[in-house]
Amino acid sequence: MRAPRQPKKPRKLTGPTDRDGGGELRRPRPSAEDYIPTAPMVPLDDEWDADEWEAEDWASGDWDSAEAGDSAASEDPEAEDLEPVEMRRERGRAEDPGALARPGAFSRLMQSARAAGGELRGRLASRRADEGELDARRVERKREARRVRLRRAGLGAGVVGLLALLAWIVLASPLLRYQYSTDQISGYAETSIVNRTQLEQLVAAHDGQNLVLLDAEALAGDIRDIPEVASATVTKDYRHALSIEITESVPVACLGPKDSCSAVTADGTKLTVPPEVAAGLPRIGASDGLDPAEAISDGLEVLSALDQAVLAQVTEVSVAKGNLVTLNLTEGRQVYWGSLERGEFKAQVLAVLLSQQASFFDVSVPDAPVSR
């Protein structure tokens, strides 16, 4: 069985907690670390009385009573060095109510209270100033944001108004209205075959329209639809005019019999020409079922190969299927040309044969011509 543990010996108490006299703990002397500074307090009623006593003692010349507090406060110089001033004052008030009966104590206390109150008022005033400055900044920021919005709205309204004004000037105002004039059309030939009345009415129908919205290309297409106009260009001449340049179609021959000849171009387009113009055109006749353009091309190729003396005698060119060409001459004579091959050689042979007294000539085989 294990032996019981020996009790520990009591240890001696040392340091600031040593017991004193009747066994009670001695209260340690306060130090500077134990002091927490606070704002000065207004003296109590007994302190006011002590100040009055102090003033009376000094006024009556009782120096012993006035200096009693000073001698009591200087009994313990070590405590005076360690304790803060306010703690010494509090302890002095508790131990000796007459400690405040020193010259100027009340005045110094009041000055300290005033200084603390002034500092507090200064902090409050500074805080109010900061809050006021912050509020002023917020108000100014709101005003600036409002000014920015108004500026943007004004700028947007100005832009919209400017665009509306430009749109009205361009699209609706009379500043860009087309004003028709006959001298705006040029390109007529010396012996023109174009019906001027028809062309001028077509252009004049656009008088008064907005020149910006007027479709110049569409107008040029309408002018080209006239058979006697080969090409047309329309240019806008701001602010009120158009420049119209046309090129007339060129009739190269008359298609059909002599009494009802229709002038045609090289591509076979039929034209309406004055009688005096049609009278000077060579006539080309095509058999039924033959393409007029092909017949005209074949007839023009034959006519271009003839001498001027022979060409003057030609009254009609007939084209049959298979590109077989026949020429009708004055005085009832006739030439069978045949195909289009060796056209220049055939023209030379025909020029020689026409000097003979004959009414029919066959040059389809130019190496063996026939005349009768």
- What value does the mean pLDDT take over residues 307-321? 84
* Closest CA relative to residue 320, chosen from 294, 300, 282: 294
| Same domain flag for 312 and 360 | yes
Residues 224 and 196 grouped into a single domain: yes
Count up the domains in the chain and report the number: 3
C-alpha triplet 97, 98, 102: angle, nearest 5°: 135
Looking at 205, 223, 248, the residue that finishes a domain is 248
Whether residue 234 is predicted with pLDDT greater than 90 in this model: the reply is yes
- pLDDT number for residue 62: 47
Residues 225 and 313 grouped into a single domain: no
Which of the listed residues 187, 219, 248 is the one where a domain comes to its end?
248
At residue 28, the pLDDT reads: 60
| pLDDT tens-digit map of 177-212 | 999 999 999 998 888 899 999 999 999 999 999 998
Question: Both 208 and 240 in a single domain?
Answer: yes
Does residue 304 share a domain with residue 195?
no
Which residues on neighbouring strands pair with residue 186, listed in sequence order? 245
The per-residue pLDDT for range 66-89, each reduced to its tens digit, is 444 444 444 444 444 444 555 555
Would you state the pLDDT for residue 59? 45
Q: What is the pLDDT of residues 88-146, one digit of tens each?
A: 555 555 554 544 445 566 677 777 877 887 788 778 778 777 777 778 888 888 889 99
Q: Which residue has the tokens 């080969």?
A: 230
Task: Calculate mean pLDDT across residues 216-233.
Answer: 93
Dihedrals φ, ψ of 232, to 5°? -155, 140
Cβ-count burial 206-245 (b if 16+ within 10 Å, e if not) = beeeebeebebeebbebbeebbbbbebebeeeeeebbebe
Q: Taking the complete model, does pTM exceed 0.85, yes or no?
A: no
pLDDT of residue 185: 93
Pairing of strands 360-362, 334-338: parallel
| pLDDT band, very low/low/confident/very high, at 37 (cuts 50, 70, 90) | low
Percent of the chain with pLDDT over 70: 71
Paired sense of beta strands 314-320 and 185-186, if any: unpaired
Domain range enclosing 295? 253-371
In a domain, 273, yes or no: yes
CB 352 within 8 A of CB 310: no
Is 366 contained in some domain?
Answer: yes
